[in-house]
Structure 1
Amino acid sequence: MMTEDFYCDEVLSGKTEVNKVLETENVLAYHHTKPFYPVHIVAIPKKHIPSLITLEETDNELLIELMEVIKKVATKVTEENGACRVITNLGKYQESKHLHWHIVFGKPLK
């Protein structure tokens, strides 16, 4: 079972080591620790923001930086695999209450 905020509690704190794909001052993209797809990368802001629908106007610059990272990662995944999906979850679909995006390729594992 996930903690309320896996990203702050585990990833950003350094408790859980991750394989980084791209990092900026305010954003981290890394390979999912328990991937659901053959290619599964997560992009998160380093600032705690609960979800897409809780973003505030003061988060606009951070959101732009996050989207730039997602675009770079999605471009690389698409170049390597021919396609990708960019997904964010809300409400009961969002297990960890920290804004995050999945950049994935392939059919779900299992």
Structure 2
Amino acid sequence: MGVVNCVFCAIMAGEQPGHRVFEDETVVAFLDARPLFPGHVLVVPRRHVETLTDLPAEDVGPFFTRVRLIAGAVERGMDAAGSFVAANNRVSQSVPHFHVHVVPRNRKDGLRGFFWPRTRYASDEEAAAAAARVRAALDVG
């Protein structure tokens, strides 16, 4: 099930240390070694997949049910006002094993938005063209 040289697979196998907060047959959740704030948790599917789009459809619901569970626990356990829940797919993904970050948040904690500059579409036409490209690329069926 694990992949050689995957740090997350090694943590799940007990070959590398990790401060686990939850595990079952679907996921392992452990503290991020380089947290944004204390209580920053990574939720990792036991099945080694690189991205969200690689996660089999039948695993998506069970996986995100666990993410939801962990998000509530992080907020309660860290006395946080809320949480930031996010995943990267390839770009900015430091470990090529799909994972979701659950970060405790409080007002004025120093993080801004999505941590990067936000922009606007130059026009409604530009926005409509972007929406059309995404719609055309949908793979439903």
Structure-2-length-normalised TM-score: 0.64
Kept in 1, the 8 Å contact 2:87–2:99? The answer is yes
**2:47 equivalent in structure 1:** 47
Please state how far the C-alpha of 1:48 moved relative to its aligned partner. Answer: 0.6
* Partner Cα separation in structure 2 for residue 39 and residue 22 of structure 1: 13
Could you list the runs of 5+ residues in structure 2 that have no partner in the other structure? Answer: 112-141
What RMSD over aligned residues (CA atoms) do the two structures have, in Å?
2.2
Larger fraction in strand = 1
Shift in Å, 1:4 = 6.2
- Counterpart of 2:26 in structure 1 is 26
Contact 1:38/1:108 (CA < 8 Å) preserved in 2? no
Query: Judging changes above 3 Å, is the alpha-carbon distance between structure 1 residues 66 and 29 closer, same or farther for their aligned structure 2 residues?
Result: same
How many aligned residue pairs are there? 103
Pairwise CA distance, 1:78: 2.5
Query: Counterpart in 1 of 2:61?
Result: 64
Q: 1:93 corresponds to which residue?
A: 92
In structure 1, C-alpha distance between the alignment counterparts of 2:28 and 2:110, rounded to whole Å? 23
Partner deviation per Cα, 1:29-86 (whole Å, 9 max, x = no partner): 111123232221000011111111223xxx2232212111110111122333110010
Question: With structure 1 as the length reference, what TM-score do the two structures score?
Answer: 0.79
Bigger relative contact order, structure 1 or 2 (CA pairs below 8 A, ≥6 apart)? 1
Change (3 A) 1:53 1:60: closer
Q: Determine which structure has more spread, i.e. the larger CA radius of gyration.
A: 2
Identity of aligned residues (%): 24
Distance 2:110 2:8 in 1: 22
